Structure 1
């Protein structure tokens, strides 16, 4: 009896654990292009394929891929999705490609790296997995000296150095500046940067260097890094000046050999500084002097202007202020503010306001609206139009009593 009970329990456990046993596990594949032995100067491409059952819940987190010596691989392009059917199980996959720089001859090995995957299980619950990157060794043999195909693949040179001058051809004298543009191009060097050319300072010259400007040119898989640098020579003494030759020693990563790029020297004749001639005054100096003169003249006019002219200017300013206040009050429809502003405006026209019956009627309508028991509507536009018809106040006559008896 007990044996049958144990068999029944085992059968139930097998039924319950069957989906877990049949469910697939995530895994990582690594492919290398080109396959087999590599030749010095080739840049292999690593294709990392990450596959999980069901589907991904987040992008894979891949640690930086590098060799044991620290050489870093750079990702090429974006991620690509894929779907595979393995042993009756559907897997979702994401593929990423990484490229190593050109490798020198010798043995190389990938450093350990971890890949974190987050995906959905069979029941839809989130799962996480941490998988190691498959290890891989690279055997790189030296390039054959007489291989024409390899020489054609490497091209004329991995590094080139060139320069140009501005002005290209001109008579120079003490105090002039000659600009030299240095251009360094590095081909198929992966993540390496072009080296900086060493410069010597000649006698009688001040040398000024700027930080190089880097450019990346990636066309048809041929990666090229360009460094552009501006060098300025300030000449302080007359005579013959020799700009020394430039020799740049660098290591060709495709062949593993040391190479030298050079630029020839240049001889310049620097003339003494010519006597400075009297240059005409610049335009901005004339404008500045004219502005100062105008400000001084306006200050003098205001200080010594007649009293009558000052009073007339103040009266005009006060008239504009009162009219602006009345107009704003009417536009806002404020009866109390309009009454105060209207009285101030009519104070400037004590006699002329009585000659306009329309203005008196509009003012009476405003007062009835404010203080009458049976309030009626008032028209701000009509009041403002009637007030605008008031003539300008007459100029005050100057009293000369006592001057002419």
Structure 2
């Protein structure tokens, strides 16, 4: 009876322990977050910024892949700006994050919700090992209202501020028949993507031909690299075939300002073009010119010209040969320098300077193999001072030791200075032993035993 009475308490304890383990596991799992960065009332045609954050424990090993999704009734873009790095602590666990901002332009009033967005990535669930993971972005919802005064909820143009400027390549009042006038109209819209800026009306009056060029879309950025406004540049060429006075129409654009809640108008003035008759050209009458007299063939000039050409060709050939030899010599010198012991040791010093343990180990291995100092520990024991030998041992322990030792930071400054001194001692010792016979630490392959007796079989 006592075992049965303690059974509910045991079950409750096991359930609590399972929930505790599950909570601890979930706290260390990657997660995603969606935030509506645009504040206030959102109107049709207005750009809406949504921040998508992806967090992982420890750090990323492969960056998250943010997809460009479709949203019915809206235009979705993602600027090419680099992602923003984030750091956050959740329930005592350190998380690293990356943020990307989507720009959504709803074309009509209504309720919108993000579709299912899955973002894959790789991260260090265990330090030093890549774990593939993915997260699903929460389905963020937002409401869009119609622009006041719009017909049927049409989006129109919604922006922070719009200005229109124009230029002409010449004075419109001083043209003649056959001349062309180039008109350039630049529209600047704050808070609006270039592709969403409407095309201006560049109509030509009757009797005038117009040739419109492809628009040029760009972005205006702040000194910090943030997008300040969208730019659209339209160019049209007017060709006048008849004299007279022509009126180029003005350009107007109505837009809704969500900050003031009012519809405003931006525009550029029209232009009066005065086209005069083409200037008359006088044709002078003159007697026909006599046929040119034939000059005798100049043998001396042609001989000198031929000799000059041959000499120039010879000089070009000599210069080409010299250039080829010089290039070969330079390539050979660069190859020798790249494969030299000094260059290999410089890679060791660079890795110490950059505090890169992996690159340092690889550079030390290449240098020791090139110089024949294998094993390297024996060379360090012989030529390095005690502090350098200690720093070298700590570096090897941090590289190949336990997981706890891998988090220790080697003394790269001590290694860099100590290895330079050890190399100098090794070089001095190597040069001093140039006249001494080489020694071989390995035993002979077929040793001769003095006391062995050889009897014929």
Q: TM-score range by the shorter chain?
A: 0.5 to 0.7
Q: How does 1:181-192 map to 2 (within 5 A)?
A: 181-190=184-193, 192=195
Post-superposition shift, 1:67? Answer: 3.9
**Change beyond 3 A, Cα 1:217–1:21:** closer
* Structure 2 residue corresponding to 1:168, chosen from 164, 168, 171: 171
Q: How does 1:360-399 map to 2 (within 5 A)?
A: none
SS at match of 2:201: coil
Q: Which runs of 5+ in 1 are unaligned?
A: 1-17, 146-153, 280-291, 329-405
SS at match of 1:111: coil
SS at match of 1:201: coil
1:179-236: CA deviations, max 9, x gaps? 2222222232135342222333334323222222233113386732222233222221
**Change beyond 3 A, Cα 1:251–1:84:** closer
Take 1:112 and 1:191, find their aligned partners in 2: how far apart are those partners? 28
Cα RMSD between the aligned structures? 4.6
Structure 1 equivalent of residue 122 of structure 2: 118
SS at match of 1:71: strand
**Change beyond 3 A, Cα 1:86–1:213:** closer
Structure 2 equivalent of residue 224 of structure 1: 229
1:314-337: CA deviations, max 9, x gaps? 9xx8xx99xx9xxx9xxxxxxxxx
Q: How does 1:135-146 map to 2 (within 5 A)?
A: 135-141=139-145
**Change beyond 3 A, Cα 1:260–1:125:** same
**Change beyond 3 A, Cα 1:39–1:202:** closer
Post-superposition shift, 1:113? Answer: 1.6
**Change beyond 3 A, Cα 1:223–1:80:** closer
Post-superposition shift, 1:277? Answer: 4.0
SS at match of 1:72: strand
Size of the aligned set, in residue pairs, is 271
* Structure 2 residue corresponding to 1:74, chosen from 57, 75, 78: 78
Q: Does 1:274 align with 2:271?
A: no
Q: Which runs of 5+ in 2 are unaligned?
A: 1-19, 150-157, 285-291, 319-457
Q: Does the Cα contact within 8 Å between 2:73 and 2:107 map onto a contact in 1?
A: no
Structure 1 equivalent of residue 402 of structure 2: none
Post-superposition shift, 1:91? Answer: 2.9
Structure 1 equivalent of residue 213 of structure 2: 210
TM-score (norm: length of structure 1): 0.53
Q: Does the Cα contact within 8 Å between 2:173 and 2:272 map onto a contact in 1?
A: no
Q: Does the Cα contact within 8 Å between 1:64 and 1:113 map onto a contact in 2?
A: no
**Change beyond 3 A, Cα 1:268–1:110:** same
Q: Does the Cα contact within 8 Å between 1:33 and 1:46 map onto a contact in 2?
A: yes
Q: How does 1:235-314 map to 2 (within 5 A)?
A: 235-238=240-243, 240-247=244-251, 252=256, 254=258, 263-277=268-282, 297=295, 300-302=297-299
Q: Which has the larger radius of gyration?
A: 1
TM-score (norm: length of structure 2): 0.47
**Change beyond 3 A, Cα 1:204–1:225:** same
Q: Does the Cα contact within 8 Å between 1:249 and 1:258 map onto a contact in 2?
A: no
